[in-house]
Amino acid sequence: MQSYDRDLTDIFAVQGDIAERVAAALKVKLLSKEKDALDQKPTGSPESYSLYLKGRYFWNERTREGVKKAIRYFEEAVRLDPNFALAYSGLTDRYLIEEDRGWASHSKAGPLTRGYAEKALELNADLAEAHASLGLALDEQWDLTGAEKELKRVIALKPNYATAYHWYSNVLGGMGRYEEAVEFEKRALELDPYSSIFGQGIGIHLLLMGRTREAIAQFEKTLEIDPGFASVYIWKAWANERVGNFDQAIEDAEKAAKTQENVGLGKLNLASIYAWAGKESGLSNCLRKSNPTLQETTSHRHLSAW
């Protein structure tokens, strides 16, 4: 076993040095373009890069509070380095998720999404993260062919970018190519084994394929990693409802309804399951308590898979 002893103040030099040492240890010869890639720094400011990483951490939570925190980190990263392309890609994804969740209108988020993505690509035309954001934006506009083309390019540019496989999986699902969607989602999970959103994605595609019990097992596996990931409970509730496990479906929907992030959709789902189960008293009670919340939810009914 080898130890690593070097000043960690320059994170980019450290990353490149470690990669070269690993390649040497494995007796792998790096191509010139691969060496060039290691030498490239995304920003001249380590502090800006650190802020970007913090922003990505909170963005990956896919919660409203997490996205709010991410915004602050991305904006501060841009303030410190106005030419930091990755930070602009973070701001792009911020508006994409806000629009998708219904936290921002398309009229507000749409132009900003495009503007930040174009800025990122202006600074770095081969930035995989920015092309991925464009792919997702095209998916949101139901331009699935354009989205597929963009995300394939991302995977070619950066084969270890897990989010690209996840978003491409969603595009494939939208095309009805569920078998492929599952395989790409599994690849995303291989790259990031503790991602709840990727684990949930596998379950969603299995559910849409009619492999409901496999989907339930996948949702349960995801909840073992992250018991507080609310949207999984909604998908699991739908799956249990489909196979007639109404008591478990109600339990899942109640857990989702208790969370602030999905309170409206969770209660709408709970009311639906009460109706299917023929539990009139539960349905009546649910509707009576949640009428204002349900009205608020009707403006944005779908549950995001990404």
Per residue in 208-257, pLDDT (tens digit) is 999 999 999 999 999 999 998 888 998 999 999 999 998 899 888 888 87
Residues in Cβ contact with 63 at an 8 Å cutoff, skipping those fewer than 6 apart: 261
pTM of whole model > 0.75?
A: yes
Q: How far apart are CA 142 and CA 217, in angstroms?
A: 30
pLDDT of residue 282: 54
Per residue in 178-218, pLDDT (tens digit) is 999 999 999 999 999 999 999 999 999 999 999 999 999 99
What single-letter amino acid sits at 169? Answer: S
Placement of tokens 């189960």 in the chain: 277
Instruction: Using the CB atoms, write b or e for 189-211: b if 16+ within 10 Å.
Output: bebbeebbbbbbbbbbbbbbbeb
Give yes or no for residue 296 having a pLDDT over 50: no
pLDDT of residue 85: 96
Per residue in 95-136, pLDDT (tens digit) is 888 888 778 888 888 888 889 999 999 999 999 999 999 998
Instruction: Tell me what percent of the residues of the chain surpass a pLDDT of 70.
Output: 71
Q: How many helices (H) and strands (E) does the chain have?
A: 16, 0
Q: How far apart are CA 90 and CA 94, in angstroms?
A: 6
32-39 and 11-25 are packed helices; what angle lies between their axes, rounded to 10 degrees? 150
- Residue 129 CA from chain centroid, whole number: 13
Beta carbons within 10 angstroms of residue 138's beta carbon: 19
